[in-house]
Structures are given as C-alpha cells and as structure tokens.
Amino acid sequence: MFFIYIIQLLQVLGQDDDPIHTSIIHGSSDLGYYFVNIYVGNPPQRQSVIIDTGSSITAFPCDACDQTKSCGIHLDQYYIRNNSSTQEELDCKSQFGECTCLRCLNQQCIFSISYSEGSHLEGFYLKDQVIFGDLLMEANSVTSVFGCTTRETNLFKTQQANGIMGLSPKTNTSLAFPNIVDDIHTQHNGMNLFFAICIGRIDGYMTIGQYDYSRHQKNSAYYTIQYMHTQNKPVYGVKISQIKVHNKTILAGADLQSGGGSFIDSGSTLVNAHPDVTRALVNFFVCESANCPQMQFNDDLACYVYNKTLHGSFEQFISFFPTYQFIMENNFIFDWTPRDYLTKDMVQHDAYCLPVAGYSGSVRMILGQVWMRNWDIGFDKENLTLTFVRSNCSSDQLKHNFTADDWFQNELNQSNITVKTRYPPKNVDQEFLYEALKIVIVVLTSIIIIIFIVCIRKRNLSKQNKKGSKLPEAEDEAQKAVQKNVVVVQ
C-alpha cells in the first residue's frame, strides 16, 4: 500500500494547486475511450473505469467473476471483497440515495445492462468506501454503491480498463443509485454537485466538486448554457441552433434538434449523426491546398493523407481545413477546429480523418470524445448547466505552450503501441427502457395472476352452486320414496 501512495505522489508532483478530487484521465481516440483510476475498499484497491456521461452505472469485475470464462483480462486485479473490511452487499430492500433496489435475485440486488452494439454487463451491487483523486493521502473517501460484475461481453470484456463509471443525469434518482459525484456532494461539505472533464488528444484530467482553475489560462472565457434532460432521455442534451463553416450555415437547428436531439456522450469515440447531418459535415471537409491529395474513405470516415514534404509541419497541415462552428444559446460559439477534430486513421498511420460517422439508430446527434477534446467541460447537475472553457487538457503540464506538432507527434508515437478500438454509440435509452419493460412485465404478470385467481374462484363457486341446486332435488326424491313406502304399508 505504501508503494501505491509513493507512485501516486510522484504522478501528481508539481500539481499542488489541483483540487483534492482531481484525477488524471488516461486514453486516446486510438484506444477508443478515456478512463480514470478510483480506489475502492479499505485498504484501497485500484480500479480503472471508463468515464461515460451516457451511462448511469459504475461497475467492474470482482472476485465473483470467472476470469477464464465470464470476464476479461484488464489493467487491474479484480476487486476482492474479503480484502476490504468495509464492503457490504446490497439486498433486495436496500436503499441508497433516491434509489431502492430495482431488481432482485436470491436475496441479492442485481443488475443487467445490454448496449446496442452487443456489449453486456451483469452482476450484483455492493457498497464500500471509494476514493476519487490521485492524491490518496489528501482525498477523503465516500461510501458509494457500485456493481460487482460477474459477466461481461464484447468490448467490456476485451477493453484494457476494468469497468465503467456512469456519469449521466439519471444517477441518484428512483431509477439509478447515486454515483461518485453525487456521493462526494452529499458526504463532503462544500463540494458542489459538479464534475468537469477535460479530454486531450492523449490523456487529460477530471475534477469533482469544482473546476480545476489552476489548469486554465489567465483571462480564460467561460461559456455557460443549460442542458436538457428528462426521465425518458437521461442525457446531457444541448440545443444547437445551427452549424456554420466560413460563416455559412450548413445545418439548421431543425436538422439538429429532431428526434433525440444532440447530446454529449464521453463513452462514444466519434460524432455519430443521422446520414443527412453526416453528409453535410463531410461535404465541407475540404483540404484547401493544391498539394492535398484526393479525399479517401477509410472505415466510412473521410480522410486525407499527410505528407511532410508536401504539407510541411502539422501546424501548416491543419491550417488547410475548416473550423466547424456550433452555434448555441447565450451567443456561445463552440469552435471545433482541425486541431481538435482531425483523428488519425487506425490502420493508415499517415491519414487524418473527420471523425463523423452515420448512425443507424433513432434520429439524434451524439457528440463523443473527439468533439469534447481541448475543452474543459463542467457538468453542473444542481443547476442543470454546462460550462465550456478552452484548455490544452494536458495530464502532466500546466503550461499552455503546446503546438500542434507536439500533440500530433506525441499521438503518432503512442499509437504504435496502442490497441486500436472505436467505441460505437450505445443506446442510452437502454437502461430506462429496460426498467420500463420490467415494470410492464410485472404489471402484466400481476394481471394474469389476478385473472387466473378470479377464474379459479368462479369455477369453484360454479361447482358449489351446482352442488347446492342438486341437493333439494335429492331431498324431494327421498321424500317421495318415503311417501310411497307409507302408501304400500297402508
């Protein structure tokens, strides 16, 4: 345990101005996701969890999962329940925050979640001490509920990170247990119901309870908008009135607000949208240089090949591409620059792409990690607001003198040793639909049982009535026989 403290202290050395609940984000677009480390139990056991604003559950494998069959090999050792003196299993009547156990089996409070791309998690809930923040000796623990995964499939099984940390607005409601953000707010005085995610091209940082202002440039501009969510759509929805390129509107609000609208999902890699929206964005992805080759499509993404001899530095190369302006409320213009969106192709290492892909599900626009890059985005769950501030989202330096060449070259070097994966958008309504379906099944089952009981009772009453109606007839026949015998005797 002492060595973990030393390692963590070295990692954050020189970052004394960070709030105590600050954690380095690890990951990249090549990896397909970004994750943080949390520390669970007493003594703490490290668990790596993907940050996912589109999910409401925090879960990772524990010692109840068979690593050879049901769960994969991940960065950290499975959480061992008996190694923690403070762990407690939730039963069927357990309540924590605003949520009471929704599903029960064999006196265990259980969960089962499936996503549209095929990934699946199931297991049971536990309660234990959890620390969020890389300064372990300063960050205080909170009591938190999480899932002990006993079965995982597809991407959940093959990913490096152990599990997932759900950050959606749905947490701490009647449909979901509180998450670590809710728990820090309720159990630590002075902590806001707030978290901020700053995703870089590689790595980043996350804070809970307040912004990490020490990592923002002086005189930074802060833009705040309302986010939209309902019980039926538990997401961080944003109202985009239009998208412009070169001061020309390429998409109107009606195209961006139809269906499920637009929302931020840190668990998805790309920007996924209706084919009409995707087509409009790709049509303006034009390299404005005579030396640019013809655009090509790799894995359905529009790409251009970078050639240092023809295009010069990365800084010069990215200057050939347009900036997409997302016009939002309060006159906020979200600039999505080439420095932010150009994404290296997973196979052709010298090709850079527009990370926009079609979405075959319901009409919506899913703003994934590549859209969030180089903005420190604050999620205020108490006031239902999102705050945006520009940042380099560096995980290890507070200075802001990075160039595009620093970023892109570092990304290129790391990509040679990274397992390349893209996380497709999940059906963020899946959990809600599951609960709604469960309620419908319970109601239907109850109705069927009631009808069955009523039918049985009616049948029994009918038998009794028939028996009662035949009894007087038998008595009449007996009396007639007696009278006949009397006559005979006479």
How confident is the model over 97-142, as pLDDT tens digits? 999 999 999 999 999 998 767 789 999 999 999 999 887 666 789 9
Q: Which of 265, 340, 376, 429 is catalytic?
A: 265
Chain centroid offset of residue 229 CA: 15
pLDDT value of position 137: 65
Q: What residue has token string 């070295």? A: 10
Q: Which of 18, 30, 52, 128 is catalytic?
A: 52
Residue 383, C-beta contacts closer than 8 angstroms, at least 6 positions apart: none
Read off the pLDDT of residues 446-463 as tens digits, 9 standing for 90 and up.
788 888 888 887 777 766
- How distant, in Å, are the alpha carbons of 27, 68, 264 from that of 299? 21, 32, 23
pLDDT value of position 258: 73
Q: N- to C-terminal Cα distance for the chain?
A: 112
The mean predicted confidence, pLDDT, of the chain is 83
pLDDT value of position 364: 79
> What single DSSP character describes residue 228?
B
Identity at 31, one-letter amino acid code: L
Strands (E), 101-139: 104-105, 108-114, 120-132
Task: Report whether 228 contacts 239 (CB < 8 A).
Answer: yes
244 bridge partner residues:
249, 325
- Phi, psi dihedral angles at 64 (to 5 degrees): -80, -5
Read off the pLDDT of residues 294-314 as tens digits, 9 standing for 90 and up.
899 998 999 999 998 888 888
Q: Is 52 a catalytic residue?
A: yes
* CATH placement of domain 2-208: 2.40.70.10
Q: Is 76 a catalytic residue?
A: no
What is the rounded CA–CA span in Å between residue 401 and residue 143?
40
Task: Report whether 236 contacts 364 (CB < 8 A).
Answer: no
What's the mean pLDDT in 394-407?
Answer: 53
Read off the pLDDT of residues 251-295 as tens digits, 9 standing for 90 and up.
998 878 777 789 999 999 999 998 889 999 999 999 988 888 889
What's the mean pLDDT in 407-420?
Answer: 54
What's the mean pLDDT in 39-59?
Answer: 96
What is the rounded CA–CA span in Å between residue 60 and residue 164?
7
List the one residue out of 251, 224, 257 whose CA is nearest residue 331.
Answer: 224
Residue 63, C-beta contacts closer than 8 angstroms, at least 6 positions apart: 78, 79, 80, 81, 82
List the one residue out of 274, 290, 233, 435 whose CA is nearest residue 357.
Answer: 274
